[in-house]
Amino acid sequence: MNLALSLFSMMLIPLVAAGLALIHQGLGRSRSAAHAMLASLCALAVSSIVFVLFGTSWAGSTGAAIHSFAVGGVRWDWLGAAPFFARGLNFDGIDTAGLTRSLVLCLELMAVGVAASIPLSAGADRWRLGPICLSSVFLGGIVFPIFAHWTWGGGWLAQLAVNFGISNFIDVGGAGVVQVVGGLTALSVAWIAGPRRGKYSHDGIPAAIPGHNIVLVLFGCLLALVGWIGLDSAASILFYGAGLQQIVGVVINATLTASAGCLAAVVVTRTRYQKPDASLSSNGWIAGLAAGSASCAMVSAESAIVIGVIAGVLSTYLIEVFELHLRVDDPGGAVSVHALAGIWGLFALGLFGQFPEGTRSGHVLAQAVGICALLGFMLPLIHGGNLLLNRWSTYRVDDDGHWHGMDVRELGAGAYPEFVIHADEFVPR
């Protein structure tokens, strides 16, 4: 196992969070830009600290202590039982097993920060900073560790082959663990916080509230690609024992899925609106990355392109469905881009994956079981937890704060103090 390469790959992962932060603030209003960036830092900071203190115990790792119970003659490994505060780990470099465990902690620490920053997109312009931190505690301490253990830590989803004779659920780069978990949290936040003021008329007709800086959004997409390659590579090495040649495949496939997703969105928006839509195209790029991270190097280059194209088309249409028909105000499209594209990626792995063992139908079934676990168990857990937190500390800013913007309301100053529009700039000379 190439541990040095995995460590190097992990160092790239913060670029995913940086890219997502730029995308979130660019797709929001200018009066909430600084708040969006600070919220990204706070979500990352809080989730990381809570994960190391508590979450890593429950996330566990293959071969470590577990909480389990027996039902139907099967032992269900449902939660890790390592010591709290990462006490079981040492960084003396003496034993290789300890080194692998510490690398797993490092990777999951980076991944939980990415997962925590995804919901900020759905709560843009109205989700208060305090509740953002509370929600990140919940995500980093409970939600993420549970699914990370089930998938990456040798939990019951990773033991479907041994216990039930079908293939194991596979999520190489965290399409489920990171993207879907973050995207479902985004859906929950969008429901709880409600739409932005002025988004819907009394008749329920949505108004367009365009992002304030599309240049930063597109730059964020490029940054996210680099980070995503790091995330996919590190997870492939640590959890699925990928070698150097497979990592080359990871890099190629990540680039292909992102490119295919973006181009599909460009073509769809060009066909529908006569001109390509930059924000939807950026969403297509991220949707391609989210979908592709399930399979990484386990699919061929052609399959990666197909996965990316379908993710890009899906995200473009689903963003519209959520906004127009379901009245979910998600300024960054996190629900479509991360949750639904991630689910598609997990299912696509079953359809297109190249597996050394197991039948195709067994793999499709295993992937379907994992998706059902995300929707049927993780979503109620996430939504129930966020509803309770909302009762304790209201997620949505009041109408006055909404009017002033989150920067002035929560931080006391705007991101662009000299950014004013002078009426005479638009008068013909």
Residue 392 beta carbon to other proteins: minimum distance, rounded to whole angstroms? 18
Helix (H, G, I), strand (E, B) or coil at 206: strand
Q: CB–CB of 122/334 below 8 Å? A: yes
Residue ranges that bind other proteins, judged by CB under 8 A: 71-72, 74, 160, 163-166, 191, 194-195, 200, 202, 204, 326-328, 361-362, 365, 368-369, 371-373, 375-377, 379-380, 383-384
Q: CB–CB of 287/258 below 8 Å? A: no
203, burial (CB in 10 Å: exposed 0-12, middle 13-18, buried 19+): exposed
Nearest CB to other proteins, comparing residues 131 and 227? 131
Nearest CB to other proteins, comparing residues 219 and 355? 355
How far is it, in rounded angstroms, from Cα 93 to Cα 18? Answer: 30
Residue 163 beta carbon to other proteins: minimum distance, rounded to whole angstroms? 8
Which residues are bridge partners to 206 per DSSP? 200
Residue 362 beta carbon to other proteins: minimum distance, rounded to whole angstroms? 7
Residue 143 beta carbon to other proteins: minimum distance, rounded to whole angstroms? 15
Q: φ and ψ at 147, to 5 degrees? A: -75, -30
Nearest CB to other proteins, comparing residues 50 and 373? 373
Q: CB–CB of 230/11 below 8 Å? A: yes
Residue 369 beta carbon to other proteins: minimum distance, rounded to whole angstroms? 6
Token pair of 237, please? Answer: 């090495």
Residue 285 beta carbon to other proteins: minimum distance, rounded to whole angstroms? 26
| First-last CA distance in the chain | 68
What is the residue whose two structure tokens read 């039948």? Answer: 359
**Residue 322 DSSP code:** I
Residue 340 beta carbon to other proteins: minimum distance, rounded to whole angstroms? 11
Nearest CB to other proteins, comparing residues 119 and 284? 119
Nearest CB to other proteins, comparing residues 70 and 413? 70
How far is it, in rounded angstroms, from Cα 120 to Cα 37? Answer: 10
User: Cβ neighbours of residue 356 under 8 Å, at least 6 residues apart?
Assistant: none
Nearest CB to other proteins, comparing residues 263 and 343? 343
How far is it, in rounded angstroms, from Cα 364 to Cα 211? Answer: 38
Nearest CB to other proteins, comparing residues 287 and 343? 343
How far is it, in rounded angstroms, from Cα 174 to Cα 186? Answer: 16
Interhelix angle for 214-240 vs 96-117, to 10°?
150
Nearest CB to other proteins, comparing residues 74 and 89? 74
If phi > 0 it is left, if psi is from -120 to 50 it is alpha, else beta; for residue 423 that is alpha
Q: Give the CA radius of gyration of the chain.
A: 21
The CB-based long-range contact list for 245-248 (8 Å cut-off, 24+ gap) reads 246/296, 246/297, 247/2, 247/5, 247/9, 247/297
Residue 103 beta carbon to other proteins: minimum distance, rounded to whole angstroms? 32
Residue 170 beta carbon to other proteins: minimum distance, rounded to whole angstroms? 16
Residue 337 beta carbon to other proteins: minimum distance, rounded to whole angstroms? 18
